[in-house]
Amino acid sequence: MGELKNDRFLRALLREPVDYTPVWMMRQAGRYLPEYRELRSKAGDFLSLCKNKEFACEVTIQPLERFPLDAAILFSDILTIPDAMGLGLYFETGEGPRFKKIVRTEADVDALPIVKTTSDLDYVLNAVTTIRSELNGRVPLIGFSGSPWTLATYMVEGGSSKDFRHVKAMMYDKPEVMHQLLEKLTLSVIDYLNEQIKAGAQAVQIFDTWGGNLSHAAYQTFSLQYMKKIVDGLIREHDGRKVPVIMFTKGGGQWLPQMADAGADALGLDWTTDIGVARGLVGDKVALQGNMDPSVLYASPARIREEVESILSAYGSGSGHVFNLGHGIHQFVDPEHAKAFVEAVHELSPKYHQS
């Protein structure tokens, strides 16, 4: 699949020395790029884009053609697992994801199969193999999954939610049913990520989008515990290289010490946490990824550079930092501003890596 020409991203995740801070953006292959919008309209809809390996490959590589990014991320969706469990994922314009079947009862949970990726989600694995081949060692490829709690949230609510009333009612009222659902999702995610690694993903990220909406105790019991089980079950070395694992809980800044003990190589940070404070809390246990507010990309390139400098300076000297946004890039961002962001990280970070 080609020797890796730029492995700074993998080295930074493992806290090995690098000459500059590597950078990628969550949702870097997406609607802010006109070439993405064109391909999506050609595909017909979002899921058709995900399920066609040539399209998924083209979309994954589009941002690398524009910006000197240090990693590519598989183009897919976090809801592929519930879809493979038979819930019938579809997208309403302006409404986000929806499911034809909703999981609300013990019988609903009992009926769910554990996903077998090679048969149920082979289109994702085909995309991984195609992308790895096309990248030809240019940069590493990131695979990913939603966390069990985040997937459960969508499955029980039936889509996006503002108040999480159904999923939290189940969690508080019928914890044994919720644990059964999370257990099935955990086994499915372990299989899914391991198969992505075997197909060619060189690092993986667990997206816990909704963990930050839980209470302190509920986060440990219903989100972190299951992410730890996933990390424990993952292939950590493949093709003669370590496969780093990134755990990202949006809104999880208050649980960094507990997350640092969960076994991942790196923790993603949203923009509400100071990265210098986070580094002080986790010490040498894990690398950190993040954490510029995506909305900074609406500001001028000069202001973007200032923000990049302040985050680099807050993290301080040495390796163990992968620069990213604190969440996905917004669809209305000017691609030229994204370019200014990536270039600023490369230009401003070498001074923090001089030994």
By mean pLDDT, which of 68-72, 89-93, 118-122 is the weakest? 89-93
Backbone dihedral region for residue 206 (phi beyond 0: left; psi -120 to 50: alpha; all else: beta): beta
pLDDT, position 2: 63
Contact 251, 271 (CB under 8 A): no
Q: Does a structural domain hold residue 7? A: no
User: And the tokens for 154?
Assistant: 């969508």
CATH number of the domain where residue 41 is located: 3.20.20.210
- DSSP state, 192? H
Q: In the prediction, which pLDDT does 318 show?
A: 96
293 is in an annotated binding site: no
pLDDT value at residue 14: 98
Asked if the structure places residue 317 within a domain, the reply is no
11 known member of a binding site: no
Task: Name the least confident of 1-5, 105-109, 273-277, 330-334.
Answer: 1-5
Active site (catalytic) residues = 27, 31, 40, 77, 154
Whether 303 is covered by a domain: the verdict is: no
Tracing tokens 């993040």 back to the chain, one arrives at: 290
Asked whether residue 123 is marked as a ligand-binding residue, the answer is no
For residue 247, what are the domain limits? 22-278
Question: Is the pLDDT at 94 greater than 90, yes or no?
Answer: no
- pTM higher than 0.95 for the full model? yes
Q: Is 327 annotated as a binding residue?
A: yes
- Binding site annotation covers 186? no
Mean pLDDT of 194-202: 98
Cα torsion 253, 314, 324, 117: sign = negative
Please report whether residue 226 resides in a domain.
Answer: yes
* H or E, element range at 268: strand 266-268
Q: Is position 170 within any domain?
A: yes
For the chain, give the longest Cα–Cα distance: 59
pLDDT higher than 60, residue 1: no
Is 183 domain-assigned?
yes
Q: What is the 3-state secondary structure (H, E, C) of 319-349?
A: CCEEEEECCCCCCCCCHHHHHHHHHHHHHHC
Total count of domains within the chain: 1
At 251 the three-state DSSP class reads coil
Domain membership of residue 342 (yes or no) is no
Question: What integer pLDDT is reported at residue 355 of this predicted model?
Answer: 72
Q: Cα 10 vs. chain centroid, distance in angstroms?
A: 15
pLDDT tens-digit series, residues 151-187: 999 999 998 888 999 999 999 999 999 999 999 999 9
Q: Is 77 annotated as a binding residue?
A: yes
Specify whether the CB–CB gap between 192 and 115 falls below 8 A.
yes
**Does 330 map to a domain?**
no
Q: Which residues contact 102 (CB under 8 A, 6 or more apart)?
A: 87, 108, 155, 156, 157, 158
Q: Is 27 annotated as contributing to ligand binding?
A: yes
CA 89 to chain centre: 20
DSSP symbols for 226-285: HHHHHHHHS--EETTEE--EEEEETT-GGGHHHHHTTS-SEEE--TTS-HHHHHHHHTTS
